[in-house]
Structure 1
Amino acid sequence: MDRKDTGILNILQNNSKASNPAIGKAVGLTPSAVFERIRKLEARDVIESYHTKLNPKAVGLGVLAFVFLKVAIGEDETDIDQALAQIEEVQEVYHVAGEDCYMMKGWAADNADLGRLLLEKVHPVKGILATRTTIVLKTVKENAWIPLGGGLKANNPA
């Protein structure tokens, strides 16, 4: 991946609807060259998909919560993974190291709706021992941007 690919990816991360001519002008390529590079980035799974970001409040979702889960020792993680992934209200699920076993991010209309989500969909999952819920008061930063500069390792080689 060269600088032109990185430039294309940065533009698409900021605006996935950017046109090939606009991208080409920004990175110094023709629209057809941009199209071909994007096609190759998609084929290599560098670009996995394109998304539309919705305003949660505009669609009736007012509570964002992170739920931390403890799981019984010896439970089948594959079954738990699948059960949690199927809960529509859950936006993200991570199997984590540390005090908790899983971390989920999800939206609800209000606190009562969040309570129903936990009682009716999360707690019944076989193997869940306990949950700890944190409600977001204010989002300070949120994006899906993947840094392409190499991070700290690139700036501080070992």
Structure 2
Amino acid sequence: MTDMMTKIAAGLERAFAANGFAEPSVDTLRDAAGVSLRTLYRYFPSRADMVLAALEHRHRRYLAFVFDDLPDGRDAARDALFTRVGDWMEGEASHGCLFHGAVAADPGSAALRDLLSRHKDEVAARAAAATGLAGREVELLLLLEGLTQTWTLHERGAVIAAQHLGRLLAQGSPQVTEV
């Protein structure tokens, strides 16, 4: 992605995070991106392209925020992981997951569903690798998604609960098999 595309995608991400996916007009999106309408459409020819670009940008930012430079040691990494998700929610996503919001706004979009799936799969895989819980990706994703969804109600209490459940998971509770 070029520097200009990254700049525009960052602005689009901010606009969609602040206003949802239905509300922002093209003028609002253009202003958030800080470019002319012609430039906006040159890089992202449709609203669907704008949404995907914003979410791709968010995906990269989220992974860096949550996973870069986790502490050494599985237990410390696991607790830090949940703390960082709480920090992300507090600073970036107090209304919930932007990826789920995009799919809810356009449930017929295969591209959005694919991006949601790819994002969540990568989060789960990286969480399992960082915490030494390979094979427990579904359980970790459930904890992370639960933290994301309960943040608006319980804030830091949700982080503490996720950390507690993560410790229990790491203690070797029986592994869930797919049904």
Shorter-normalised TM range: 0.3 to 0.5
Give the alignment's TM-score, normalised by structure 2: 0.32
Quick check: which has more Rg, 1 or 2? 1
Higher strand share: 1
Larger RCO of the pair (alpha carbons < 8 Å, separation 6+): 1
Give the alignment's TM-score, normalised by structure 1: 0.35
